């Protein structure tokens, strides 16, 4: 199997177009999504508890993985409004798609279809923010 020619940030030109399309889909989907209660609880916990209290006491009652709270903690402590929680998860989803496009051994047609299914753009990057860390 031949080496793929890298163009921008280690991606080929078709991969750059796929990533740009993925970003466009997220930019269209995120403003129409209304966050759920558990996402709000995670944001509030990250905002009002310290790191050790959050990790060792609060998380035993929560359903999200601890790494999601570690990602939320600095952003929430800086006073960023809760509305941006989905943009934070979109950034994690974009990073995940970048790694998928750059390092996957799949042919182009598989790499072109994967980011535009239901799970990767909507379920992981928009609707359930902590899943984007997978």
Alpha carbon distance 126, 35 (integer Å): 9
CB neighbourhood size of 73 (10 A) = 18
Give the total residue count for the chain. Answer: 134
Question: Is pLDDT of 34 > 60?
Answer: yes
Q: What is the pLDDT of residue 39?
A: 82
Q: What is the pLDDT of residue 3?
A: 62
Tell me the whole-structure pTM to 2 decimals: 0.82
User: Residues 102, 11: contact at Cβ < 8 Å?
Assistant: yes
Stronger pLDDT, 124 or 99, i.e. the higher one: 99
């Amino acid at each position: 199997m031949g080496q793929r020619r890298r163009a921008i940030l280690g991606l080929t030109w078709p991969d750059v177009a796929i990533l740009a399309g993925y970003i466009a889909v997220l930019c269209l989907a995120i403003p129409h999504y209304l966050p759920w209660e558990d996402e709000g609880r995670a944001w509030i916990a990250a905002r009002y508890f310290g790191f050790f209290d959050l990790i060792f006491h609060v998380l035993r009652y929560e359903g999200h993985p601890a790494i999601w709270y570690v990602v939320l903690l600095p952003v929430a402590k800086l006073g960023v409004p809760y509305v941006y929680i989905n943009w934070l998860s979109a950034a994690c989803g974009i990073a995940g798609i970048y790694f998928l496009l750059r390092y996957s051994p799949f042919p182009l047609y598989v790499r072109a279809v994967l980011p535009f299914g239901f799970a990767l753009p909507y379920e992981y990057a928009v609707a359930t923010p902590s899943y984007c860390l997978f």
